[in-house]
Amino acid sequence: MQLGLITDSVGSKTLDEALDLAAELRLDTVEIATGNWSEAPHADLDTLVSDAGARRALTDAVTSRGLTLSALNANGNQLHPVDGPAHDRVVRRSIDVAADMGVPTVVLMSGLPAGGRDERTPNWITTSWPPETLDMLDYQWNEVAIPYWQDLADHARKRGVRLAVEMHGRQLVFNVATLHRLREAVGADVVGANLDPSHLMWMGADIIDVVAALGPAIFHVHAKDARIEPRNLAVNGIHDALPPAQAAQRSWNYVTLGLGNPGGATFWAEFVYALRRVGYQGPLNIEHEDVLVGAEEGVRKSAALLHSAVLRDAPDWSPARI
């Protein structure tokens, strides 16, 4: 398993400064955003598409520091009824750049369609009642998402790039069941999970059970923590539309690694061990989104915690033959 950094975590730094930080912290990999919901402070996607020299320069900047580029990140909503085509363009161009640079994975979200043909706003369905919700889900999956993803998976397959889908609230794929549904529909060889435990934490999932349920479907992993705020939860429940800046009033928040619950720092050792149990050997990339902790401080604390938890050597113990 490798430790890494999503460079957007320190988006105010230049690319060189972000890479220097990753090297200083003895990390192995970096993940760089290419657009959509990221301002992409460390990559110009259009230049990377058109200029082989720019691609070589980015590769050299990463490898000269003893790092590898584990993924490009194109998180957005390709299924948006209005903005979808623009987001899809970023996704497909990111796949092409990844293929040209030898980057194995593009991280992205499933997208979320509207609830019907004439609607212009994405609609996240989380219950089976009132009855029209089932018709909306049928439209979202069978008329929009599956045809789109079949075509996208074919494109990625031809370019030799895997698509790691981040299960996230207000996306069509937001939990284990919906991730498996997408894989079964479009191809488990090229579509798998980008497992960011923080998103599933606030929705109430047990992350160790999630790892077991996903198994080989885990293509890529983010290291981000979430904290449930019991007093706010007791009053308002888990569904919370307050902005992140109002952390004191929210029912849950993204926090620096080790400050979440349940388990705190202990959770991350259990998480790493669970990943090893299912055979995962890929990157574990730090993502900082804690509004109460400075970006560099949060990344440093997260790296220190993960260094104490990560398992690097291959297992070699076996019982004595007696």
Listing DSSP states for 177-238 in one string gives: HHHHHHHHHH-TTTEEEEE-HHHHHHTT--HHHHHHHHGGGEEEEEE-EEEE-HHHHHHH-S
The answer to the question of residue 199 being in a domain is yes
303 lies in which domain range? Answer: 2-309
pLDDT score recorded for residue 187: 95
Three-state secondary-structure class, residue 173: coil
Secondary structure element (H or E) that encloses residue 100, with its range: helix 84-101
The answer to the question of residue 315 being in a domain is no
Q: How far is CA 238 from the centre of its chain?
A: 21
Report whether 106 contacts 91 (CB < 8 A): yes
- How far apart CA 169 and CA 109 sit, in angstroms, is 10
Q: Token pair 């290291």 is at which residue?
A: 223
The total domain count for the chain is: 1
The answer to the question of residue 321 being in a domain is no
Contacts of 126 (CB under 8 A, 6+ apart): none
Query: Which residue, among 142, 121, 234, 248, has the nearest Cα to 185 in the 3D structure?
Result: 142
Contacts of 168 (CB under 8 A, 6+ apart): 109, 174, 196, 199
The answer to the question of residue 319 being in a domain is no
Q: What is the CATH number of the domain that holds 91?
A: 3.20.20.150
The answer to the question of residue 303 being in a domain is yes
And the tokens for 175? Answer: 């939990």
The answer to the question of residue 316 being in a domain is no
14: alpha, beta or left? (left if phi > 0; alpha if psi -120 to 50): beta
The answer to the question of residue 34 being in a domain is yes
Burial degree of 69 (CB within 10 A; 0-12, 13-18, 19+): buried
- How far apart CA 177 and CA 173 sit, in angstroms, is 8
Global model pTM greater than 0.85: yes
pLDDT tens by residue, the chain, 322 residues: 999 999 999 999 999 999 999 999 999 999 999 999 999 999 999 999 999 999 999 999 999 999 999 999 999 999 999 999 999 999 999 999 999 999 999 999 999 999 999 999 999 999 999 999 999 999 999 999 999 999 999 999 999 999 999 999 999 999 999 999 999 999 999 999 999 999 999 999 999 999 999 999 999 999 999 999 999 999 999 999 999 999 999 999 999 999 998 889 999 999 999 999 999 999 999 999 999 999 999 999 999 999 999 999 999 999 999 8
The answer to the question of residue 35 being in a domain is yes
